[in-house]
Amino acid sequence: MRQSWLVNLLMALLLLASGCDSDVKNIEHLNYVTAIGVDYRDGQVHVYIQFIDMQSEAKTSEGRKEGARVWIGEGAGRNFEEAVFQIYQSAQERIYWGHTTALVFSESLLKHGVEAVYDSITRYSEFRYTPWVYSTRGSVKAILQTKAFYDQSPLNTILHVPEGIYAQTSIIESIKLHRFVRELREPGYTSCIPTLALDKRHWSQNDKKKNMLMIDGAEFYKDGKLKGFVPIKDLTGLRWFQRETIRAGVSVPSPEEPSVQVIVNHPKSKLTRVQGGAYPKFNISVRGKGYIVNRVDNTLTDFQQLTEATENAIKKEIQQLYDMSVKRKLDIMNMEYNLFRHHYVEWAAEDNWDSRLLNGEAIQQFDVHIAIKHASAVKNQRKE
């Protein structure tokens, strides 16, 4: 009787073990998507998925790495799901989406409307809200195929890890999917999407030009519509309004005739509505700590003069940003959103805020204060 009970128990345990084992997936039998690109052309949604060969990422027995191998899957359909199911048909093994760290949307898709795409992505349980979001005006496929230095995989490029470059020179802040979705749903908010392009001029290997990824500007999106593209050279003033600006370089007194290069760390800005008047006006305040990294001549040796020249250079960048916003009819500084958050009654009373805020007179006063702490000169002192 006791032996029969033991046999039954062992058989039950074996059945449970085999049932659990059927749900186990070996990692080598999964295809891991690292980036997704979406384009819209000829009336169809084109989806590109990037695979990285993990075996080429590992070291060989001699301690060397093989050249990174990148696979691109492509499908097209009337919507995002139909294009993805085309890819499924020849994927050979199960595709896992949980390691996706970047999304690239073409300019034509943003013009067509991106809401249906991110709605599909966020509904599937394997997707997370943490991938970086980019746009591109070029080939989406070419962006996903670009490798890093030393034949490393795209996992070591701006596409997947933009924080390193941004910490050295903060111009256009990268955003993640959760923030992008939130911004799209905020009334009156103008979302800034970094634009990726291929730099074909500055890098070479053995005298052969190499394409490298770069951020060459930004697309601006508001109320479900693409408002326009702005090149990076016209967006230097944007860094004074971004919440996560880390390190901003300023040519003083001007980029055309620089005397001193000043670095400002972690600047903070604030828009304040000025009460009264037929049209809304704002005061802009900027605070930060800076230091000198380069001196071209000795024209700004007086500390007070240097401080004032630095603050004036920042004011000029912000004024140029606003003037460009007026010209392009883009609320880049999110003045309307400031009204929505802090002056809702006033905001709700009007419909077309762009015409009232982008009239060239919305900035009343600048209040810029930069505390220059040191000149880094101790590193250059000659020891006697």
CA angle 309, 315, 320 (to 5 degrees): 125
User: In the chain, what are the domains?
Assistant: 30-234 (no CATH), 236-384 (3.30.300.210)
Exposure string of 103-119, with b = 16+ CB inside 10 Å and e = fewer, is bbbbbebbebebeebbe
Instruction: Name the band, by pLDDT with cuts 50, 70 and 90, for residue 60.
Output: very low
Which range, of 23-27, 207-211, 323-327, 371-375, averages the lowest pLDDT? 23-27
Instruction: Read off the pLDDT of residues 241-255 as tens digits, 9 standing for 90 and up.
Output: 888 899 999 999 888
Contact of 295 with 262, CB cutoff 8 Å: no
Report the pLDDT value the prediction gives residue 278, as an integer from 0 to 100: 78
- Dihedral of CA atoms 36, 37, 38, 39 in degrees, nearest 10, equals -170
Comparing CA positions, the residue from 163, 147, 136, 154 lying closest to residue 203 is: 147
Instruction: Read off the pLDDT of residues 348-375 as tens digits, 9 standing for 90 and up.
Output: 998 889 888 999 999 999 999 999 886 6
* For residue 9, pLDDT beyond 70: no
Instruction: Name the band, by pLDDT with cuts 50, 70 and 90, for residue 169.
Output: confident
Instruction: Read off the pLDDT of residues 279-334 as tens digits, 9 standing for 90 and up.
Output: 899 999 999 999 998 888 888 778 888 899 999 999 999 999 999 999 999 999 99
Judge residue 89's burial from the number of C-beta atoms within 10 Å of its C-beta, 0-12 exposed, 13-18 middle, 19 or more buried. exposed
What is the H or E stretch that residue 212 is in? strand 212-222
* For residue 97, pLDDT beyond 60: yes
Report the pLDDT value the prediction gives residue 205, as an integer from 0 to 100: 78
208 vs 327, more confident = 327
Report the pLDDT value the prediction gives residue 151, as an integer from 0 to 100: 72
Token duo for residue 43:
């009336």
Exposure string of 354-365, with b = 16+ CB inside 10 Å and e = fewer, is bebbbeeebbee
What average pLDDT does the segment 10-38 reach? 66
Q: Which residue type is seen at 167?
A: A
Scanning the chain, the segments in alpha helix (DSSP H) are: 2-21, 54-57, 80-88, 107-112, 115-123, 140-145, 163-168, 177-185, 303-328, 335-342, 344-348, 353-357
